[in-house]
Amino acid sequence: MKFRPLAPLALAVALGFAGQAFAKSDKPSADWMPAEQVKQKLMDAGYSSITELEADDGHWEGEGMKNDVKMEVHVDPKTGAITKENPDKD
């Protein structure tokens, strides 16, 4: 039972690191392609009316119109390649 007082400390340290990981995932880093450049790549791929482009979980995520369908799209932050696109269900 000597180790019991260390459990809350270990939990606090673990949660601190987890919080930092989540905070970093929603901010573009210096090596990410700028949002305006991502929008241009999306327009080149047939998207229009691109909205809500934001950093989320390590990629750019946004919405736009493609072939008259509202789409949700994920974009690689370094290359600008579309990694996922689905009709928006909202």
Q: Is residue 11 included in any domain, yes or no? A: yes
Shortest CA distance to 39 belongs to which of 48, 26, 28?
Answer: 48
3-class SS at 57?
coil
Q: Is residue 35 included in any domain, yes or no? A: yes
Q: Is residue 1 included in any domain, yes or no? A: no
| pLDDT, averaged across the chain | 82
What pLDDT score was predicted for residue 26?
A: 82
What pLDDT score was predicted for residue 89?
A: 84
Note down the domain range covering 58. Answer: 6-87
Q: Is residue 22 included in any domain, yes or no? A: yes
- The single-letter code of the amino acid at 84 is K
pLDDT tens readout for residues 25-45: 588 989 999 999 999 999 999
Count of structural domains, the chain: 1
Residue 22, pLDDT above cutoff 70: no
Percent of all residues in the chain with a pLDDT value above 90, rounded to a whole number = 62
Residue recorded with tokens 């989540």? 22
Q: Is residue 48 included in any domain, yes or no? A: yes
